[in-house]
Amino acid sequence: MYVTAEHLRDHVIRPTLKYLGSWTPATEAFLLNAAIDGPDLGLFSPRNDGLGLFHITAAQHRDLWDRYLAFNPEIASRVRGLASQRAFLSDPDSELQTNLSYCTAIAWLLHQRSGQAVAEAPRQGQAATA
């Protein structure tokens, strides 16, 4: 199966961010870039480590649930709603590999929890400034 960047952006990243109430052009661009060039962002694991599209480790995944989502039940409920019923209960880390929306939500929340800013995406027709 071949997935283009546009398909990933339009059918996975944007709808997931909207579902979480976190969509902006900048957050969308950040996650698309993370999916393509994750190691350069310093938040996710190198390409040979971690699980799924964003190469999130099992330890990062569990830490997010234990130290962040456990204290944010509204967000936790929304993220849990993205996971499959049975697979999540028996092997939650498998959701990172098989569920693009869930993996995207976890990636966004890892970034959000880190407190790092997301640079504003340039408007159409404007060049990015350095």
Task: Give pLDDT tens digits for 46-93.
Answer: 556 789 899 999 999 999 999 999 999 999 999 999 999 888 989 999
84 contacts 44 by C-beta, under 8 angstroms: no
Residue 14 inside a domain? The answer is yes
Any domain includes 126: no
130: in domain: no
In a domain, 122, yes or no: no
pTM: 0.84
> Is position 129 within any domain?
no
37: containing domain? 5-114
Q: Flag whether 120 is in a domain.
A: no
**Is residue 105 in a domain?**
yes
d(CA 78, CA 102): 10
- Give per-residue pLDDT as tens, 16-40: 999 999 999 999 999 999 998 764 4
